[in-house]
Amino acid sequence: MAKPVIFTIDDDPDVLRALERDLRQQYSERFRVMRASSGASALGALHQLRERRNAVALMLVDQRMPQMSGVELLEQALPLFPDAKRVLLTAYADTDAAIRAINSAHIDYYLLKPWDPPADRLYPVLDDLLDDWLASYRAPFEGVRVVGHRWSPKSFEVRDFLARHHVPYQWLDVETEPEARRLAALAATEEGGGAGAAVENGPAPQDGGAGASAGDGAGEGTGASAGDGSGGTAAVESLGTADAAVTDVAPAAGAPASAGAPGAGEVAWTPAGRLPVVFFADNSFMIEPSRAQLAERIGLRTRAESRFYDLVIVGGGPAGLAAAVYGASEGLRTLMVERDAPGGQAGTSSRIENYLGFPAGLSGAELARRAVAQAQRFGVEILNPQEATGLRREDPYRIISLSDGSEVSCHALVVATGVSYRKLAVPGIDRLTDAGVYYGAAMTEAISCKGEDVYLVGGANSAGQAAMYFSRYARRVVILVRGDSLSRGMSHYLVDQILQTPNIEVRLHASVVGVHGGETLEAIDVADSQAGTVETLPGRSLFIFIGAEPRTAWLEGVVERDEYGFLLAGSDLVRDGKLPAGWNVDRQPFLLETSVPGVFVAGDVRRGSVKRVASGVGEGSITVSFIHQHLAHI
Ligand SMILES: Cc1cc2nc3c(=O)[nH]c(=O)nc-3n(C[C@H](O)[C@H](O)[C@H](O)COP(=O)(O)OP(=O)(O)OC[C@H]3O[C@@H](n4cnc5c(N)ncnc54)[C@H](O)[C@@H]3O)c2cc1C
């Protein structure tokens, strides 16, 4: 974390140097000491510090400076760092002015020049003030911040992506948080042209300001912006990171205010601004980043290091992760390709209670995080987000095409692509997807639903788990079940939990037949098949869990599938005693081997699989044993 700043300002270079020296001597271990030689340059630097979310603990300002007096500077700096301690350096003749300014500029102390010896006349005062400041100081959040609109699908995608990759972030909603609007406006301004930003209370700076502002206009920037002296001769030395960093500006008299420049006043976001904006810890930012851009920024790998692997696994759910851990731990050069985030469906589960060895249950995210760490420890290369889009065989190689147009080849492939949620067939629902309508648990949304009514569609365990999770935040959770009983599709323990949770309501014979809303969901039509009625219920959040289907179109014509798209394996491939067309090895297919020798299947995507975490893990592990036998004969 950056050290809090002690900022000293004096127009006399000798005095400034002496002050800086004395301050450093006493405080440089705990504070960063900065100096400026004019009010204008100090204000510019203070704006930068604020944008970078550095803390300013103390300002020590000379009263007699040309253009802007110490009191004037402290008055203008007040909104930037309201909690900083303010000390005015005065000559004896100025003490009356200093006393008068105690209220207007919130001056905590005034010191008479000279302050020698500092041990007697400077440090005791400052120590006291700094102790006071430290006692109430709370370090700002330093991680990733996402600024966006709660109902925007793009904002949802970014938050979901970060959450599923275990990147902690702070969510700032432009509708409800002034800080979010300020940051959004700042990003729009930096992006270039000030789109979406407008100046509020923006008189021209009196004498120019610091002009440190960056951003390449391509949706990325540094996020550090200061009052803009554009059009003048202002120049700024960037805020260094060392204690000795100096920010001095040559004032540009009469420089015009630049749109959105914080130095010219506060900026305000307007709905034209592009969202979401993701700010990183170093204050760089990305506007409307794609998943690939975000992935790169948070250090994920999307391109394979090599062209060939012993084993490639497509799908990073429990089955794929297990295959990866066992494969790599047994010496196979292993690549895992995941189009979304490792963890698969299990990764979206709020609490898995039946996985062996975790008597208190564990969240899917935690299981995924542990499995990824284990796989990486054994040297598995993980590509994500990256999607397998095709497969061809060039014996003995299996060649997988990826969504970025690249290819990887291998001797053995495990398809562990699981299943994905089925879509609800209701007119207009696609338009509202991720803007109030969500498939799966979308746990990132739970906190936003605080105090609201939430509707869940589905009668199986996934809906039940989600209901329990949302009940902690929502005012009321309504589970809409098409059938006549909850226990028909849900585990007994979950049904018991649901029935004992007062803010969960179960509606049987109920199905969603309509959705309403402009940009976001506003209401749903719920049909009661027993009563023959349709009721319109106001609601902003609808979560859908209505079964799942395999997405195996990319294997069409290469690997045998059943009529629903599930992959056939082992003895399922033998029909009337005959092996599948193209079977060209002198043995029967192994238990989890598909119609293509060397291509295996594990987990939910296999026909007849038991759709559970443990069975996926089991199958993923077992495939590795068969892969060794396959490789032994290549
Ligand atoms: C909300 C919820 C709660 C659940 N709770 C439990 C529980 O408590 N206990 C239990 O035992 N089971 C539970 N299940 C079921 C369990 O999660 C699944 O059975 C298990 O995740 C299946 O694992 P899998 O690896 O076969 O597939 P998945 O988990 O579906 O993983 C497949 C992965 O492959 C990726 N993928 C798909 N296509 C491609 C492609 N072309 N290229 C690259 N990647 C691709 C997907 O993005 C996904 O990450 C739950 C499921 C859900 C949805």
DSSP conformation letters of 425-469: --TTHHHHBTTTEEES--GGGTGGGTTSEEEEE--SHHHHHHHHH
Domain limit, last residue, from 268, 297, 326: 297
Same-domain status, 222 and 331 = no
Q: Determine, yes or no, domain membership for 156.
A: yes
Where is average pLDDT lowest: 209-213, 360-364, 481-485? 209-213
- Contact partners, residue 192, CB within 8 Å, separation at least 6: 215, 217
Kindly state whether residues 442 and 345 are assigned to the same domain.
no
Q: Are residues 34 and 125 in the same domain?
A: yes
Q: What is the pLDDT of residue 157?
A: 92
From the CA of 320, how far away is ligand 1's center (Å)?
10
Is residue 392 domain-shared with residue 502, that is, in the same domain? Answer: no
Whether residue 166 is contained in a domain is answered as: yes
Q: Is 360 within the bounds of a domain? A: yes
pLDDT, tens digit (0-9, with 9 covering 90-100), for 444-462: 777 778 889 999 999 998 8
Which atom of ligand 1 is closest in space to residue 421's alpha carbon?
53
The atom of ligand 1 lying closest to the CA of 606 is 26
- Mean pLDDT, residues 177-201: 67
Kindly indicate the confidence band of residue 1, based on its pLDDT and cuts at 50, 70 and 90.
Answer: low
Out of 300, 314, 349, give the residue to mutate to test ligand 1, the one with the largest number of ligand atoms within 8 Å of its CB: 349
- From the alpha carbon of 387, which atom of ligand 1 is closest? 42
Q: From the CA of 350, how far away is ligand 1's center (Å)?
A: 13
User: pLDDT band for position 548 (50/70/90)?
Assistant: confident
CA 491 to centroid of ligand 1, rounded, Å = 18
Banded pLDDT at 377 (limits 50, 70, 90): very high
Is 192:214 a contact under the CB 8 Å cutoff?
no
pLDDT tops 60 at residue 576 = yes
Number of domains, the chain: 4
Beta partners for residue 524, in sequence order? 515, 537
Neighbour count for residue 104 (Cβ, 10 Å): 12
Counting atoms of ligand 1 from 1, which one is nearest the CA of 337?
43
pLDDT at 25: 95
Residue 256 pLDDT > 50, yes or no? Answer: no
Q: What is the pLDDT of residues 316-328, one digit of tens each?
A: 999 999 999 999 9
Which residue has its alpha carbon closest to ligand 1 atom 15? 612
Residue nearest to atom 12 of ligand 1 (CA): 612
Cα of 418 from ligand 1 centre, angstroms: 5
Q: Please indicate, yes or no, whether residues 154 and 273 belong to a single structural domain of this protein.
A: yes
**Which ligand 1 atom minimizes the distance to the CA of 351?**
8
State in Å: Cα 333 to ligand 1 middle. Answer: 24
Pocket, ligand 1, Cβ cutoff 6 A: 314-320, 337-340, 344-346, 348-349, 352-354, 387-388, 416-419, 441, 461-462, 465, 551, 554, 603-604, 611-614, 616
409, part of any domain:
yes
Specify whether 208 is located in the same domain as 93.
no
| Structure-model confidence comparison of residues 315 and 448, the more confident one | 315
Note the pLDDT of residue 105: 75
Distances (CA, A) of 150 to 166, 183, 417: 20, 16, 30
- Give the domain CATH number at 33: 3.40.50.2300
**Do 262 and 149 belong to one domain?**
yes
Q: Average the pLDDT over 175-180 and give the result.
A: 89
> Among 243-257, 271-285, 427-441, 588-602, which range has the highest average pLDDT?
588-602
Pocket test of ligand 1: the residue of 321, 325, 345, 555 to mutate, having most ligand atoms within 8 Å of its CB, is 345
Atom of ligand 1 nearest to the CA of 417: 34
- Determine the distance separating the centroid of ligand 1 and the alpha carbon of 92, expressed in angstroms: 75
What's the longest Cα–Cα distance across the chain?
109
**Which residues are within 8 A (CB) of 484 and not within 5 positions of it... i.e. 6 or more apart?**
508, 509
The pLDDT score that the predictor gives to residue 442 is: 65
| Domain, as residue range, for 240 | 144-297
Same domain? For 290 and 160 the reply is yes
**What is the b/e burial string over 395-431, where b = at least 16 CB atoms within 10 angstroms of the residue's CB?**
ebebbbbbbeeeebbbbbbbbbbbbbbeebebeebee
Looking at residue 192, what is its pLDDT?
Answer: 67
> If pLDDT is split at 50, 70 and 90, which confidence band does 268 have?
low
Which atom from ligand 1 is nearest to the alpha carbon of 602? 26
Beta strand pairing call for 437-439 and 334-337: unpaired
> Whose CA is closest to 481, among 360, 494, 444?
494
- Span from the CA of 342 to the centroid of ligand 1 (angstroms): 9
Rounded CA gap, 632 and 620, in Å?
19
Answer yes or no: are the C-beta atoms of 429 and 153 closer than 8 Å.
Answer: no
Q: State which ligand 1 atom lies nearest to the alpha carbon of 352.
A: 8
525 phi-psi bin (left φ>0, alpha ψ -120 to 50, beta other): beta
| Residue 424 in domain | no
> 479 with 456: CB under 8 angstroms?
yes
CA of 616 to the centre of ligand 1 (A): 8
* CATH classification at residue 528: 3.50.50.60
In a domain, 481, yes or no: yes
- In whole numbers, what is the pLDDT of the chain averaged over residues? 84
- Of residues 316 and 194, more confidently modeled: 316
Give the H/E segment covering residue 510.
Answer: strand 510-516
Would you say 622 and 592 are in contact if contact means Cβ atoms under 8 Å apart? yes
The verdict on 466 and 609 lying in the same domain is: no
Query: Percentage of the chain with pLDDT > 70?
Result: 86
Whole-number pLDDT of residue 272: 58
DSSP helix, strand, coil percent of the chain (3-state; round to 5): 30, 25, 45
CA of 318 to the centre of ligand 1 (A): 7
When pLDDT is averaged across residues 189-194 and rounded to a whole number, the result is 66
Q: 405 and 513 share a domain?
A: no
Which pTM value belongs to this model?
A: 0.70
Is the pLDDT at 251 greater than 60? The verdict is: no
Per-residue pLDDT at 211: 29
Specify the residue for token string 């960056």. 214
Domain boundary among 297, 330, 352: 297
Question: Does one domain contain both 401 and 387?
Answer: yes
In which band, very low, low, confident or very high, does the pLDDT at 245 lie, cut at 50, 70 and 90? very low
Question: Do the domain assignments include residue 102?
Answer: yes
Q: Are residues 363 and 437 in the same domain?
A: no
Output the CA 254–ligand 1 centroid distance in Å: 63
Burial state string for 375-393 with b = 16 or more CB within 10 A and e = fewer than 16: beebebbbbbbbbbebbeb
Where does a domain end: 546, 571, 596? 546
User: What is the pLDDT, as a whole number, of residue 353?
Assistant: 83
Checking if the pLDDT of 30 tops 70, the result is yes
**Ligand 1 centre and the CA of 159: distance in Å?**
20
Report the percentage of the chain scoring pLDDT > 90.
61
| Range among 274-283, 323-332, 368-377 rated most confident | 323-332
pLDDT confidence of 209, banded at 50, 70, 90?
Answer: very low
Is 303 inside any structural domain? no
The answer on pLDDT for 252 being more than 60 is no
In the predicted structure, residue 555 carries a pLDDT above the cut 70: yes
Q: What is the number of residues in the chain?
A: 634
